[in-house]
């Protein structure tokens, strides 16, 4: 059991130089075309606004490292399970090559980074999914890392913050990927039973099997403005009903209106919002009142 909880010492170094370099890696053109309002804006202005659409405030995708950089206290992050990498459980054609290419292009070993950090001094376990890695689909590694993150948080009595983004279960891993929904939800249930706090931050896009498991099971559910969140693919539904769906369908605002999101929080306010929530749920806070 000790081994399982061995913290990987290899800290991810995130400095502003790396952050700028990361940004330059994102497929670029001169313009960013917003998927929500279809407005084209200068890439430079879009980046300067923190990758937020200046017209409709759609919050675009960040890499996991960018998200880490703007969320956690500098130097506080200690990564878990950095070395877990994918195998090919159902011998799916070309799966290994695809993963290898993505490891190279993203600099990540898989579609999520997990670890411990502080946010304005409040300690927590954090997980950040990266949609640039195979649309952050959940296979064995993503499922295992989330499960271990919850298990360690339970052991250490820490809150969990997860930034969700995913195209759903990773089809290339067949039924094994579907079972990760049950595995992660089981670990989450044990964490919850210990009276520990879990906050999900829904980011663009959160869909499929991730929506149908841990993304929908938080004590507090936050979402960034205008992000896509849903269970079924938009095109699947359009194919069934044979008509185009409105632009705001499956947006954070749509979810909020139907009662599935607590608050929609702009990116630049998220760190403060998370701090407030972690502060409320600090263990043993109300002891003086009870005794």
Task: Tell me which residues touch another protein (CB under 8 A).
Answer: 81, 83-87, 89-90, 92-93, 140-141, 143-144, 147, 169, 171-183, 185-190, 193, 208-209, 211-217, 230-233, 236-237, 240-241, 245, 249-250, 258-260
- Preceding peptide of 205 cis, ω within 30°: yes
Cβ–Cβ < 8 Å for 74, 68: no
Question: Min. distance of Cβ 154 from another protein in angstroms?
Answer: 12
**Pick from another protein, Zn ion, none: which does 186 bind, CB < 5 to 8 A by kind?**
another protein
Distance of CA 87 to the CA centre of its chain: 22
**Pick from another protein, Zn ion, none: which does 187 bind, CB < 5 to 8 A by kind?**
another protein
Closest to 132 in 3D by CA, of 107, 97, 96: 107
- According to CB under 5 A, which one of 26, 41, 56, 70 is a site residue for Zn ion? 56
Locate 256 and state its tokens. 């909020």
**Pick from another protein, Zn ion, none: which does 231 bind, CB < 5 to 8 A by kind?**
another protein
Task: Lay out the site mask for Zn ion across 18-47 (x = CB under 5 A, - = otherwise).
Answer: ----------------x-xx----------
**Pick from another protein, Zn ion, none: which does 58 bind, CB < 5 to 8 A by kind?**
Zn ion
**Pick from another protein, Zn ion, none: which does 140 bind, CB < 5 to 8 A by kind?**
another protein
φ/ψ region of 60 (left if φ > 0, alpha if ψ in -120 to 50, else beta) reads beta
d(CA 282, CA 170): 35
Q: Is 176 in the site for Zn ion (CB under 5 A)?
A: no
Closest to 112 in 3D by CA, of 21, 203, 51, 25: 203
d(CA 178, CA 174): 7
Interface residues with Zn ion (CB under 5 A) are: 34, 36-37, 53, 55-56, 58
């Amino acid at each position: 059991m000790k081994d399982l909880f061995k913290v990987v010492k290899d800290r991810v170094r995130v400095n502003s130089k790396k952050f700028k370099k990361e940004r330059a890696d994102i497929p670029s053109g001169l313009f960013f075309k917003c998927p929500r309002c279809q407005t084209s804006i200068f890439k430079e202005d879009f980046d300067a606004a923190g990758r937020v659409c200046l017209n409709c405030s759609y919050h675009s995708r960040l890499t996991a490292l960018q998200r880490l950089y703007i969320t956690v206290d500098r130097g506080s992050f200690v990564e878990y399970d950095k070395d877990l990498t994918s195998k090919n459980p159902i011998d799916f054609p070309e799966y290994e090559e695809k993963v290898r290419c993505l490891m190279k292009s993203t600099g990540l070993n898989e579609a999520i980074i997990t670890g411990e950090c502080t946010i304005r001094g409040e300690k927590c376990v954090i997980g950040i999914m990266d949609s640039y890695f195979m649309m952050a689909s959940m296979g064995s590694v993503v499922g295992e890392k989330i499960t271990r993150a919850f298990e360690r948080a339970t052991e250490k009595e820490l809150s969990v913050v997860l930034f969700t983004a995913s195209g759903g279960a990773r089809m290339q891993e067949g039924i094994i990927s579907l079972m990760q929904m049950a595995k992660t939800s089981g670990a989450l249930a044990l964490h919850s039973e210990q009276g520990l706090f879990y906050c999900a931050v829904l980011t663009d896009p959160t869909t499929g099997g991730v929506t149908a498991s841990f993304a929908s099971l938080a004590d507090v559910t936050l979402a960034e403005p205008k992000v896509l969140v849903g269970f079924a693919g938009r095109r699947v539904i359009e194919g069934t009903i044979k008509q185009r769906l409105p632009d705001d369908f499956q947006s954070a605002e749509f979810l909020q209106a139907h009662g599935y999101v607590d608050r929609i929080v702009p990116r630049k306010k998220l760190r403060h919002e998370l701090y407030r929530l972690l502060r409320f749920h600090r263990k043993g806070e109300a002891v003086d009142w009870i005794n």
